[in-house]
Amino acid sequence: MDKAHAKQVLLEKQRQFREEVARLENEARESGGADVEDSIDMVTSTEAKAGSFAVSTRERETLQEIDDALLRLDKGTYGKCVDCGRPIEAARLEAVPWTRYCRADQEKHDREQADAKGSAF
């Protein structure tokens, strides 16, 4: 992926994620329950808010990854794995243009994360 195309794709994704985060956070704030709620309504309302905030947190994390990718693009390191320095596969960049890792290092991080979650129980 050439730099101009990468920047265009990243800026569009950045715009989309910003809009989505704002929408989800607004939705969560506005989902205050009715004036009269029974305990089931309150639980349902609280769970809906928590779900919206959790999704917006994931979206915000992805937005940060996109911002980081734009910085790497400006610094001339975009498309190189931040762990090993090897080029990131073109198909991987097309699928996830904000990725920081080559496939091998991503798999390593995924295994480490899965192991950490497994040992937490």
pLDDT digits (tens, 9 = 90+) for 22-31: 888 887 777 6
Place of tokens 């999704």: 55
Residues 65 and 101 in one domain: no
Which pLDDT tens digit goes with each residue over 59-114?
Answer: 899 999 999 999 999 999 999 999 999 999 999 999 999 999 999 999 999 999 99
Residues 59 and 102 in one domain: no
Contact 19, 60 (CB under 8 A): no
What global pTM score does this model have? Answer: 0.74
Q: What is the CA radius of gyration of the chain?
A: 19
pLDDT at 118 over 90: no
| Residue range of the domain that includes 99 | 81-121
My answer on whether 93 and 53 are in the same domain is: no
For residues 109 and 88, state if they share a domain. yes
Nearest to 14 by CA among 55, 65, 80: 65
Integer Cα distance of 88 and 70 in angstroms: 15
Q: Which residues contact 80 (CB under 8 A, 6 or more apart)?
A: 72, 86, 87, 88
Rounded to whole angstroms, the Cα distance separating 108 from 100 reads 13
